[in-house]
Structures are given as structure tokens and as C-alpha cells.
Chain A
Amino acid sequence: MSESTGVPAARPYSGAVGGRPQPASLADVLERVLDKGIIIAGDIRVNLLDIELLTIKIRLLVVSVDKAQEMGIDWWRNDPMLTSQENDLAEENRALRERVRALESGGGPATEDEGRGRAHDEAGADDERRPSRADGGGR
């Protein structure tokens, strides 16, 4: 690049103006890359529509998660397309909510049946980092 004086050699950044740089979110990378770029057909014919359908599917699925939960629908949990991380988080949130309820009620008998196994698990070594994760993930 002959005119590169204006562009810092440092890696590209993203963030609020004057704010701190942040790693690119999945949304940013997908948006930047997925439906973009020059199309010259390779030897491997991938149906580009598949990719576009996929992004739409992601958007539809993801946008409707809250709504679906409200209505008690959770079929998307079993969709292999959604990462296991997301399932884990939802599972973890539920476990934490149960635990909070149990703590608030002074460890009442309501959660005893279901809660025993989990409470035991969560009293383990990684107990300390869980509350902070609940702040980020639990709503």
C-alpha cells in the first residue's frame, strides 16, 4: 500500500468512538464475512443459498428464543445447529435460579428433590466464578 500513512499498522479495532477495543463478536464476523465477497464458482459447488438460509435460520432462531421460552417452547434446544455452549448456559442459568430460590427460602424443601444433585455439584471448586457468570448470562 503506497498510501498507508493514514492507516495504522496495528490490527483493526472495533468499539465505541474513543472507547476500548473489543474482540469481534460472532455477529460482527458473520455479518462481515458470510454474505460478502466475490462469487466466482469454484470446483466445489456449494449452494450459496444454503449459507444465506443458514444466517436467516440463525437470526430467526436466535431472535425467537425469548419468545419461545415465554411460551414454554424449547424445541430449539435440541437443534444441533445451536452450540452446546448455549445449551449449557441456559442449563446453568436454570440451575442458578433454582439455587437462588432455595437460598432465599432458607433452603426450603421445595427444591430438595431436584436440587440436591445440582447443589452438590455447584458447591464444588468452581463455586466462586459462577455468581459473576450469572450476572452476564442470567436475565
Chain B
Amino acid sequence: MSTSARYVYAISRGLRPGPLEVRGIHGAEVEVVRHLDLDAVVSDVDLAEFGEEPLRENLEQLSWLEDVVRDHDRVVQAVAQVGPTAPLRLATVFLDDDGMRARLFEWRFALEQVLDRVTGRHEWSVKVVLPPAPAPAGVGPGAATHAGDAQAAAGGADYLRRKKESLAGRVAAEERGAELGRAVHQALAGRAAASRLLPPQDPRLSGHTGTMVHNGAYLVADDEHEAFVERLRELTAQHPDVVVDVGGPWPPYSFAMLEQR
């Protein structure tokens, strides 16, 4: 049994066969392997790391996962700069090129369809974050350590009243946030070839403060992207109190799905 295997990052079309400039997983050389009309972007990986058992264990290691995810993403992004790109799911590994070719043959029509759909288009990410409302003195998460003082100073009833007001304010802010999220999505989806709503990100992972009221992915034609960003600017100007975070152009990760399974 050979010790190395073939890791496939993405399928593309019309690339120049041979090595690519970008480096792959753990710095491996990345090459383009053509089969039929499809270009597979691949590199060697070690079976001691990507074999069934080690892979299962490695996926549970956040630092290993982060490295591989970033390497994978870097290659896919590089491919998306030069051709239509259908990213493959992380850790798609074949024992050799023959195995990979057999699978490409099996899925050739569906893969062609995906490439047709994403050609000339890229993915954009738009997140809207509502900053935390300033909490009245004595209530709110930031004031937890002073709660005792506030209670002693202002009396229990007063404290409870303010706490209730703060809660009502938070509910109103959440409703407003949800409404804003819907409005943004509606406005942007009209400029996109396709769109997807994603779950709000965890603040501990993303580092944002406040409430993420919208997290959307948009497949935007390359010649539409300026209009898309312009629309986004208008929306941002209309709502100066929220933080609008835009990312792109990215490979169409959220829009690369096979029609038949």
C-alpha cells in the first residue's frame, strides 16, 4: 500500500495542466490533472495523516483542522482567480489518480452543471451586526459585578424596574434587527444570481460584539459586483448604527452543490 494519496481541492475547467503556483496542504505542490473536460486540482497527502483512522482523529483537533481548512481555502481561492471553480468538500481523498478519474467520469454531467452555474460569478458574504445597546447602570451583562452596589444604592424595586426596561429595550432591538436583516437580504438577493441565508456566527469564534442579525451568501455575476457593493453602501448609509461586514469575491463555496445525489 502506497503511503501517499491524492487530495482533490476543486474541479475547474480550462486551466493549464501542470503545477500551480499556490502551495497546498502542508506546503505540498499543487497540480492540475485533466480528465474529460474537467480539471481536477490535486496534491499529494500522506496516508498516515489522511487515511481513514488518522483522518477521523485529526478532524477532532481544532489546530490541525484550522491548518487544513486554511490550506484548502488558499488553493480553492487561487483556482477561483483563474477559472470557474467547484470546490470539493474538505478532505476528498483518493488512493491514486485512477480512482479520482473514475469518480469524475461518474459525476461528469453534474460537475459540468455546477461549473456552468458558477462561471463568471463569485460568492459574496454579507453580515449585519447590531451593536450592543448601552445598558442602563446596574443592569446588563457588563455590570454583573456592580449589581450588588446598585441594588444597595437604589433599592430593589428601582433595580427591578430598570432591569425590566432594559429587557423590553432588548426585545425591541432584536425585532428591529430581524427586520433590518430581512430588508438587507431582500435588497441584495435582487442583485444576485442566487442567495443563501446562513446561521449567525458565534461571537466567540468571530470576535464581533453585538447581535449578528443577518448572515447571507450571495452568488454575484462578476460584471454585477460593483452594483452589488453599491447597493450595500446605500443600505449601510441608511443604517449608520449597524456594522455591515462584506467579504468577497470568494469561490462559490455555498453554491457548489450537485443536482443529483
Give the interface of A toward B (CB within 8 A).
1-7, 9, 11-18, 24-34, 36-48, 50-51, 54, 58-59, 62-63, 65, 80-83
Contact = CB atoms under 8 A, between A and B. Distances in A.
B66 A26 contact: yes
A4 B60 CA distance: 39
B59 to A, nearest CB: 6
A62 B204 contact: yes
A42 B125 CA distance: 29
A37 B89 contact: yes
User: Taking each of B122, B226, B247, which has the highest tally of chain A beta carbons within 10 Å of its own beta carbon?
Assistant: B247
A54 B56 contact: no
Contact of B89 (A26, A39, A82): A39
A20 B88 CA distance: 30
A73 to B, nearest CB: 16
Given A5-B222, A15-B246, A38 B88 contact: yes
B8 interface: yes
Nearest to A5: B223
Contact of B95 (A28, A37, A43, A80): A43
B44 to A, nearest CB: 13
Contact of A17 (B87, B89, B106, B244): B244
A131 to B, nearest CB: 20
A132 B187 CA distance: 41
A36 B77 contact: no
A27 B201 contact: yes
Contacts of B120: 1-3
Given A12-B249, A44-B5, A29 B89 contact: no
Contacts of A4: 222
B87 A43 contact: no
Contact of A44 (B52, B65, B204): B52
